[in-house]
Amino acid sequence: MEEVNKKQKDFWSGKGGDVWVEKQNAMDAMLKPLGEAAINKLPKKLSGNILDIGCGCGTTTLDIANQQSSDLGLTGLDISQPMIDQANKLAKAQGKGNIDFKVLDVQTELNEENFYSSAFSRFGVMFFEDSIKAFTNINRSLKENSNFAFVCWQSPKLNPWQSLSLQVIKEFVDLPSPPERSPGPFAFADIDYLNSVMVSSNFKEIEIENHRQKITMFRGRSLEEASVDYLSINPTLTEILRQSSDSAIKEISKSLEKLFEDYSDGNGLHFESATWIVSAKK
């Protein structure tokens, strides 16, 4: 029997997780304002125990901890061992003894009931093979009337950092479109599907906000470095390019550099983005 979410676990606990640890500062610079838009949907004063789903290297968990009182309990969960290791290092360096970081699959291993006072995620809930089961586990883990807020990507067509780059890559390799609603960054592009997952998972007072904001990618990186980084942070691309020759990958990188010139000011690439900011109650 195949392990649940195996492809995602292999990527995020393998080279993909290592790359995200290495590029943590650049990725945080890109995603921080979008994560803050979701954090702002939680109560300003939090209490009890807070759950951060897909916490990655722990930046969002630490941000919440630094904004709140020290008696707050926080749990950060991710399937990536390298990223959780990094999160623990950062928490130790900041003297945050009230944070518990764990390698755990929310779809299969989140067993708490009526424990957390709020739950949050910055792009960490789109990778489940069975989203309804995972979200039902999140719901069950929350206390009655607790808040759940997260941010996820809308369609790639509305996120040119993805759609334009894929157009370039498709000139060199066969890049099949992933099945609609399959695990990946854009699993919740369809708002009706996203809402149905929330409803089926027993959430109430569901609000899905259309959020548009300019983002900066790969700040402080050259165009050559940005093109290499781009090809290494996406699970789907990594899998396909693994089967490509070194010369093909170099050609792709050169073409991405050319594309990125139009979006660079010498200090990062600046793109429009479209996300859903989702908030709900148990």
More confident residue, 1 or 211: 211
> How would residue 247 be classed by pLDDT, with cut points 50, 70 and 90?
confident
- pLDDT value of residue 1: 41
Q: Where are the alpha helices (DSSP H) in the chain?
A: 6-12, 15-22, 24-39, 59-67, 81-93, 106-109, 131-141, 160-169, 191-200, 223-232, 235-241, 246-261
> How would residue 243 be classed by pLDDT, with cut points 50, 70 and 90?
confident
Q: Which of 258, 264, 252, 261 is nearest to 228 (CA)?
A: 252
Which range has the worst mean pLDDT, 44-58, 138-152, 242-256? 242-256
β-partners of residue 118 are 50, 147
Is the per-residue pLDDT at 92 higher than 70?
yes
- pLDDT value of residue 62: 95
Q: Are strands 204-217 and 49-53 parallel, antiparallel or unpaired?
A: unpaired
Is the per-residue pLDDT at 9 higher than 70?
yes
Task: Find all residues with CB under 8 Å of 162, minimum gap 6, and list them.
Answer: 153, 156, 185, 186
- pLDDT value of residue 13: 67
More confident residue, 176 or 130: 130
Q: Mean pLDDT throughout 187-192?
A: 97
Taking the C-alpha atoms of residue 278 and residue 211, their distance in angstroms, rounded to an integer, is 10
Counting residues of the chain whose pLDDT is more than 90, the rounded percentage is 72
Instruction: Tell me the whole-structure pTM to 2 decimals.
Output: 0.92
Task: Find all residues with CB under 8 Å of 104, minimum gap 6, and list them.
Answer: 77, 78, 79, 110
Sketch out the chain's domains with CATH numbers: 6-156+181-219+273-281 (3.40.50.150)
More confident residue, 36 or 228: 36
Taking the C-alpha atoms of residue 249 and residue 150, their distance in angstroms, rounded to an integer, is 34
